Amino acid sequence: MTTITFGKAINEGLRRALAEDDKVVLMGEDIGTLGGVFRITDGLKAEFGEHRVVDTPLSEAGIVGTAVGLAYRGFRPVVEIQFDGFVYPSFDQIVAQVAKLHYRSRGTVRMPIVVRIPFGGGIGAAEHHSESPEAYFTHTAGLRVVACSNPADAYVMIQQAIASDDPVIFLEPKRRYHVKGEVDLDANLADARPMGVATTVATGDDVTLVTYGALVQVAKDAATAAAEEGVSIEVIDLRSLAPVDYATIEASVRRTGRLVVAHEAGEQGGVGAEIAASITERCFEYLEVAPVRVTGHDIPYPPAKLEQYHLPDLDRILDGVDRAMGRPNSLSDISEVDA
């Protein structure tokens, strides 16, 4: 076990993947000489050469589109999208090509492509630098979508994503890059928890709180705070957003009868909608109350000085928990009728 930052953990995971399989290539803007604007690929070009860690021209469709061609040749491209807000120019290549080629080719062409995306807000950045685009991808058949929340998971999950024969959208909560944690760099991947399985990071009996990425830490803090008020929260780190590990969530909700889902992305059509709808379908009779969603507003990401009024934080999550628990909360005094 060594203690390293979240960013370093991904860097080590990439290093190991590059070392173990020479078909693995990294591509992206500024990832080589500079080591990426977040330094996630720091040192890798020097170590593996410019044909393994490739600085590309400034074109996201070009990066993903050439990655498709490389996959056609048997490579396992790991592309970096510099910031979440810059993934859209490559949307067509991701949705119409990467996601669909295995199906369209009747299983003959595999797309073991990983699209790394630093996502989410909380760093006071300029516009287009704090987006949470995950729902666009979870709604896209053919893709797998994962989000890691801590260094240990990041180190293992990036390698699992690269090893996957299906394309993976790999979401990295950028505001956690500098957080440190214990990582076992010699961990045997075979023993690791599959990336499709969620993790219960705090056990509780009163309410099930599901989230992913940067909000996992906030959710854990909320559980601690709620405990003091006598509310026992079970926190589930989703890890895989598509497919979702419903077995883990269902087992928890059957016990608690209450579900809160939190994410930074907007509410309308967000991942929370799918989980709320699916859990309602799967264990309606166990639910004491309607699943509660605590999300970013349905607005373009606001300027830095307003992001604190957009992002779900400890208090907003606790307010959501209070709604689920029927305790006094921001909506106590309105019946759903006039809401």
Ligand X SMILES: Cc1ncc(C[n+]2csc(CCOP(=O)(O)OP(=O)(O)O)c2C)c(N)n1
Structure tokens at 72: 């056609």
State yes or no: cis peptide before 77, omega within 30 of 0: no
Taking the least distance from each CB to ligand X, the nearer of 128 and 193 is: 128
The binder of a copy of itself chosen from 281, 305, 333, 334 (CB under 8 A): 281
Q: Quick one: what does residue 136 bind among a copy of itself, ligand X, another protein, none, with the CB cut-off 5 to 8 Å set by partner type?
A: a copy of itself
Rounded least distance, CB 283 to a copy of itself, Å: 7
The binder of ligand X chosen from 62, 89, 257, 302 (CB under 6 A): 89
Rounded least distance, CB 70 to ligand X, Å: 20
Taking the least distance from each CB to a copy of itself, the nearer of 34 and 96 is: 96
Instruction: State yes or no: is 129 an active-site residue.
Output: yes
Residues 286-315 within binding reach of a copy of itself (CB under 8 A):
287, 289-293, 297-300
The binder of ligand X chosen from 34, 46, 58, 306 (CB under 6 A): 58
Residues 6+ apart with CB under 8 A from 120: 84, 130, 131, 132, 171, 173, 174, 175, 213, 214, 264
Question: Is there binding between residue 65 and ligand X (CB under 6 A)?
Answer: no
In contact, 259 and 291? CB cutoff 8 Å = yes
Question: Is there binding between residue 130 and ligand X (CB under 6 A)?
Answer: no
126 CB-contact burial (10 Å; exposed 0-12 / middle 13-18 / buried 19+):
exposed
Rounded least distance, CB 122 to a copy of itself, Å: 18
Question: Is there binding between residue 334 and another protein (CB under 8 A)?
Answer: yes
Distance between CA atoms of residues 26 and 114, nearest Å = 9
Q: Which is catalytic among the residues 51, 102, 129, 263?
A: 129
Distance between CA atoms of residues 58 and 40, nearest Å = 18
Q: Is 192 left (phi over 0), alpha (psi -120 to 50) or beta?
A: beta
Residues 14-43 within binding reach of ligand X (CB under 6 A):
29
The CA–CA distances, whole Å, from 244 to 42, 153, 180, 241, 275 equal: 32, 17, 27, 5, 8
Residues 216-275 within binding reach of a copy of itself (CB under 8 A):
242, 265-266, 268-274
Q: What residues are labeled active site?
A: 129
